[in-house]
């Protein structure tokens, strides 16, 4: 029987054998797992077997790690005064080494490591399934024994079924102080901001432990350990529990596309061989997972289930999916269907199918997002249809489009027809998370939308007492870019922390090149909170836009329909959710602009970006009615403004 993915897209017919083969491979692997482990969920319970786990009957802890090529393994740490030979592990037939410790033998939160004897020598290593690590004064890391959490959850009734409006955030840089922020501070100070802005989901970056803070969390060393630089595991649990109490889902930015190459902190040569890995990533100076190995699949799948079971995460944003899908890591272009079915990494595709199947079984309401710029057909279709099982794809091309447009083209020369096409350019039936900019654009070396629009004027002309045509233009276009992206660009929406108020300056973590400064690794919340600064206008608009959009269900599976565009006048008019959206990107205002709209009755403006509360000029009278005469509407279009019309009741 033909898979639904091919049935729905006849252009995939030439690649039917490849799609069928990968689905058959998935089924065969799932059958193998079910036969030997009982179920995919049992297979993914590896974290309950490996690492430290309490035995109720024996009143103590088993410690296990998979090290099939090790010659000898010892557990060392504070509990035995770092004696290198007193606590030897035994190896079973599957290459798993284990030891039992009485509960009085090891103190909670004490430091531990393994001493692994290999054919290359003996080394002190951090266990693969360790649930906490601590950095020492000399910058080295040790594993930490963490007993089972006694945290009392209060979120049993929380279920997330909404369209996601995602607030992408980084715990460490979410403070205005010159330091690393904490889970506790984020819970107390940032979650209420996110809630008040109207977002219903928080996407947390850099949670998995990483030795180098400046990696933005994308060089992970310890996959089961929440980063200790932000606080304790229970601090993270409290953050998520609090978010759920506010109605906010929490999404983990999970990194399974590669791992840090560091020997001391990571998994490299853990038993003297590659073990978890199969080569190096050519761009990121990191290790590539060997997705073909069963125990590597188990490690990664267990990692997903662990974050869901132990921390109640509501979903995952899978980092670097494009680099996983292709053996060329996305270095080639994607101009036709052939490009999606050559040089594919079938081991990685199989892993992603299993991953999505697993997390949707654990929580049917889970949010699964692929960071994929290739647009692989079926990435966001169910595995049973021949797809990869993601719920959403990040619409990465939209942010790239805006950055390219702002860098190369004056707004007087923008092609409105092309703009609408670019924002709509996605596969039918595969949902996208739209965003105008993310953390990538905020990093040092790039520019945010606000910086492209206003540049140095942001340092001198953001006072409400200072007149600046550049800032007026920038604020107006900043609002319009975000709104048209939200309306047209996808079936979900995302904003990066601080961009809602046009945070000035870039993101640059402490490093030798900036003298280890925290100046650019923070968020200046005082800017929108200061009444005489214009940042307050952009934050007010973003909050109004999000609340209005959620109330009117503007972000949905429904596509927008273009009524009219005019490149010379820079006008775009479209309809969605029974509303009309009129964008005037021009620096000219039009007094009596007429456009075709089939219908009867009168229209009224219910939302507009020129409102004084949003830094506009209050050129719109909400009391005016606009009659539909002979299927035409005639209205006033102020310059650089978006107007939203609804039928008068």
Strands 590-596 and 632-637, how do they pair?
antiparallel
Degrees to nearest 5, angle at CA 132 with 126 and 135: 75
Partnered with residue 165 across adjacent β-strands are 493
* Residue in the block written with tokens 């690393």: 180
H/E stretch holding 476 reads helix 469-488
Active-site annotation holds for 319? yes
Partnered with residue 632 across adjacent β-strands are 596, 629
- Classify each residue of 400-414 as buried b or exposed e, where b means 16 or more C-beta atoms within 10 Å of its C-beta: ebbbebbeeeebeeb
H/E stretch holding 604 reads strand 602-608
Strands 141-144 and 133-135, how do they pair?
antiparallel
Spatial CB neighbours of 252, under 8 Å, sequence gap ≥ 6 = 203, 204, 207, 208, 307, 311, 313, 315, 316, 317
Degrees to nearest 5, angle at CA 84 with 98 and 261: 75
| HEC per residue, 245-260 | HCCCEEEEEECCCCEE
Q: Euclidean distance between the first and final Cα of the chain, in Å? A: 51
CA distance 252 to 610: 36
- What are the phi and psi torsion angles at 71 (to 5°)? -90, -40
Give me 388's structure tokens: 């990869």
Strands 111-118 and 96-102, how do they pair?
unpaired
Nearest of 454, 442, 574, 568 to residue 509 by alpha carbon: 442
What count of other Cβ atoms lies within 10 Å of the Cβ of residue 597?
17
- What are the phi and psi torsion angles at 214 (to 5°)? -70, -5
* Catalytic residue chosen out of the listed positions 371, 508, 610, 611: 371
Nearest of 40, 623, 627, 4 to residue 300 by alpha carbon: 40
* Catalytic residue chosen out of the listed positions 319, 437, 542, 565: 319
Long-range interactions of 3-10: CB distance < 8 A, separation 24+ = 3/385, 3/386, 4/381, 4/384, 4/385, 4/386, 5/377, 5/378, 5/381, 5/385, 5/386, 5/387, 6/386, 8/385, 8/429, 9/377
Active-site annotation holds for 137? no
Query: Which positions are catalytic?
Result: 319, 371
């Amino acid at each position: 029987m033909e898979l639904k993915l091919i049935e729905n897209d006849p252009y995939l017919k030439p690649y039917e054998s490849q799609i069928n083969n990968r689905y058959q491979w998935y089924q065969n692997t799932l059958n193998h797992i079910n036969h030997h482990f009982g179920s995919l969920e049992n297979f993914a319970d590896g974290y309950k077997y490996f690492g430290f786990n309490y035995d109720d009957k024996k009143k103590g802890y088993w410690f296990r790690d998979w090290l099939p090529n090790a010659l000898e393994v010892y557990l060392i740490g504070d509990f035995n005064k770092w004696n290198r030979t007193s606590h030897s592990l035994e190896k079973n037939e599957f290459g798993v080494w284990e030891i039992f410790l009485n509960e009085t033998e090891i103190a909670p939160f004490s430091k531990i490591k393994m001493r692994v004897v290999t054919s290359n020598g003996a080394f002190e290593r951090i266990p693969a399934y360790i649930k906490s690590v601590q950095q020492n004064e000399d910058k080295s890391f040790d594993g930490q024994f963490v007993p089972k959490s006694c945290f009392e959850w209060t979120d049993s009734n929380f279920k997330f079924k909404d369209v996601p409006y995602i607030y992408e955030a980084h715990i460490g840089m979410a403070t205005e102080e010159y330091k690393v922020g904490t889970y506790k501070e984020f819970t107390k100070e940032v979650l209420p901001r996110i809630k008040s802005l109207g977002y219903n989901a928080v996407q947390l970056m850099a949670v998995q432990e990483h030795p180098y803070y400046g990696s933005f969390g994308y060089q992970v060393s310890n996959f089961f350990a929440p980063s200790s630089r932000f606080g304790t595991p229970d601090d993270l649990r409290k953050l998520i529990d609090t978010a759920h109490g506010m109605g906010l889902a929490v999404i983990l930015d999970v990194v399974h596309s590669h791992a840090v190459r560091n020997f001391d902190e990571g998994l490299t040569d853990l038993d003297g061989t590659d073990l978890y890995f199969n080569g190096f990533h050519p761009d990121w100076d990191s290790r590539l997972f060997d997705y073909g190995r069963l125990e590597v699949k188990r490690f990664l799948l267990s990692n997903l289930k662990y974050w869901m079971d132990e921390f109640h995460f509501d979903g995952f944003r899978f980092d670097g999916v494009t680099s996983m899908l292709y053996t060329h890591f996305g270095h080639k272009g994607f101009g036709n269907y052939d490009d999606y079915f050559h040089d594919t990494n079938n081991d990685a595709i199989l892993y992603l199918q299993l991953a999505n199947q697993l997390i949707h079984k654990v929580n049917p309401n889970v949010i699964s997002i692929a960071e994929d710029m290739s647009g692989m057909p079926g990435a966001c279709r169910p595995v049973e249809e021949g797809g990869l099982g993601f719920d959403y794809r990040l619409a990465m091309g939209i942010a790239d489009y805006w950055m390219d447009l702002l860098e190369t083209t004056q707004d007087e020369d923008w092609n409105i027809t092309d703009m609408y096409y670019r924002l709509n350019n996605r596969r039918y039936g595969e949902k996208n998370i739209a965003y105008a900019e993310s953390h990538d654009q905020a990093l040092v070396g790039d520019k945010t939308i606000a910086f492209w629009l206003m540049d140095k004027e942001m340092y001198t002309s953001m006072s409400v007492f200072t007149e600046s045509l550049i800032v007026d233009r920038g604020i107006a276009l900043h609002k319009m870019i975000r709104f048209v992206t939200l309306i047209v660009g996808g079936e979900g929406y995302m904003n990066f922390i601080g961009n809602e108020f046009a945070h000035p300056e870039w993101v640059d973590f402490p490093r030798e090149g900036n003298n280890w400064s925290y100046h650019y690794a923070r968020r200046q919340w005082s800017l929108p909170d200061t009444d005489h600064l214009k940042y307050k206008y952009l934050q007010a608009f973003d909050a109004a836009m999000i609340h209005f959009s959620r109330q009117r269900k503007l972000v949905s599976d429904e596509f927008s329909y273009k009524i009219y565009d005019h490149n010379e006048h820079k006008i775009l008019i479209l309809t969605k959710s029974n509303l009309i959206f009129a964008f005037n990107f021009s620096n000219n205002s039009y007094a009596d602009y007429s456009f075709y709209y089939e219908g009867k009755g009168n229209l009224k403006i219910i939302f507009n970006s020129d409102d004084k509360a949003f830094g506009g000029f209050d050129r719109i009278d909400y009391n005016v009615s606009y009659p539909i005469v002979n299927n035409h509407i005639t209205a006033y279009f102020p310059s650089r403004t978006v107007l939203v019309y609804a039928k008068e009741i």
